[in-house]
Amino acid sequence: MQIKLLPILVAAVLSGCSLAPDYQKPDTPSTEGWQGVETTQVAETVLPEWRTFMPDKRLQSLIELALANNKDLKTTLLNVASLRAAYRIQDAERYPGLDAAGSGSRTRFSDAYTDAGKSYASQYTATVGVTSYELDLFGRVKNLSDQALERYLSQDEIRRSTVIALMSEVTTSYINLLTNQELLKLTADTVDAYQETLSLVQTRYDAGYSDALTLAQSKTALHSAQATLAQYKLAVAQEYNALRQLVGAPIMKYIDGRLPEEEGQMLSELKVGTPSELLLSRPDILAAEHTLKAANANVGAARAAFFPSIRLTGSAGTASNSLSGLFNSDSGYWQFAPSVSVPIFDWGSNQASLDVAKIQKQSSVVAYQKAIETAFKEVSDALLGQEFYMEEWKAQQKNLAANKEYYELARMRYEKGNDSYIDLLDAQRSLFSARESELSSHLNLLTSRVNLYKALGGGWRAADQETSTQVSTVIKTVE
């Protein structure tokens, strides 16, 4: 009965055991006690696709540009491609590599060396061999391959987190820019109003109907408003630059708009229920779990270092002193050279490596649980913001309406001479402050809504399809 070597080796490799601990998902931290989560739950949460959540067409265009041009996202895509290639390198070590080689030589020996006149020697070889293949009986190479795979999968989840963060940052920056533009326009209108008032006061002063104190107060109000106008000009320019950097492309044609005053035109309201199921599918939590699995596999690789390492080296081919006889039946030869390395005494190095691997695993467990707690905190804060900022915005809208009425009455009474300029100035300042507060509360409401959508991992599935195409493009480019 003829016994073939290759099937035996394959069977030995496939039957190799793994010393990695059985992976068990860590206990999920308690979800109780977070403010705002339980009281706002409804029967079910279905997060809308990001274009549905963000119906503003200009905003959609900016996000699409950012997904295609943002430099941080491109760096993340390259990191994904790099770890994917690293996994392929590590996984290739699980299988024997075959090398083919051919060589030929012809040598002339000197007459003085042979004492027999001219002498020639020829040698030709052709071989196929396996070079230093580790027989993975204890799963060391397999565990290292699993570790590389989990690191790649973790980085891929980080890519998804980057997509969510980028969409949220672009949305927040866009809303901030529109709000600052509104405040700039409000301040410019206020400056115009103060200038008109100053002209009126100056006329009354020249005619002897107003005193110097009133004139000075009017000038003070105008100059203060002009200083505020310069501040908002700077804020608009800086926010524009921030958005331009996020998008990575020209944005001027997408920001010629106003912040919608009606609810739902910029961002849709989110109805949230049973958030724990959503949070466990957040990319950052999944990334933390893949990191934990990588650490678990590393423990198996560290344990395998205590056991013998068996390496196989072999080759087979033909050899002849003439090129024409290289493939004759009697020219074949083979070589098989296994080696065994057994750790005996290493001053505790292997044990220390195993201890490090176990500590890193425990650290990954803590990081995974912390990621879940962080997710619940973000959801809780965003839910509270969505609830109470809505209350504040509605109250500020009523306050703004009341201040508009107050200003109109004060202006008419001043023009008729029934009230002093102090009353009119107070009404103007109150109206400006009320409009500032209304815009600020609206901005806070929209920002909290963006934060809630981000905290729930919303929109990444649709955007993931778009960036997955970019990953494939990056991989093809580097390959």
| Spatial separation of the C-alpha atoms in residues 350 and 359, rounded to whole Å | 14
Least confident of 43-52, 180-189, 339-348, 394-403: 43-52
Looking at the predicted structure, is the pLDDT value of residue 9 above 60? no
Closest CA to 26 of 377, 456, 370, 378: 370
> 192 CB contacts (<8 Å, ≥6 apart)?
none
**In this predicted structure, what is the pLDDT of residue 477?**
56
Helices 71-92 and 460-478, packing angle to 10 deg? 60
Looking at the predicted structure, is the pLDDT value of residue 20 above 60? yes
Looking at the predicted structure, is the pLDDT value of residue 8 above 50? no
Q: Could you tell me the two tokens for 432? A: 């400006």
| Spatial separation of the C-alpha atoms in residues 85 and 475, rounded to whole Å | 9
State CA 476 to chain mean position distance. 22
Contact 17, 141 (CB under 8 A): no
**In this predicted structure, what is the pLDDT of residue 415?**
77
- Confidence class for position 242, pLDDT limits 50, 70, 90: very high
Beta strands in 23-147 (DSSP E): 98-109, 119-135
- Residue identified by tokens 């809505």 is 390
Which residue type does 85 have?
A: A
Three-state secondary structure call for residue 420 = coil
What residue ranges define each of the domains in the chain, with the CATH number in brackets?
Answer: 5-94+138-306+358-478 (1.20.1600.10), 97-135+308-342 (2.20.200.10)
**In this predicted structure, what is the pLDDT of residue 11?**
44
| Whole-number percent of the chain with pLDDT over 90 | 17
Which residue type does 199 have?
A: S
Provide the 8-state DSSP code for 122.
Answer: E
pLDDT one-digit tens code per residue, 312-363: 787 766 776 766 666 776 776 677 777 777 787 778 888 888 888 889 888 9
Least confident of 34-48, 173-187, 358-372: 34-48
Which residue type does 300 have?
A: G
Provide the 8-state DSSP code for 94.
Answer: T
Alpha helices in 93-211 (DSSP H): 111-114, 140-206
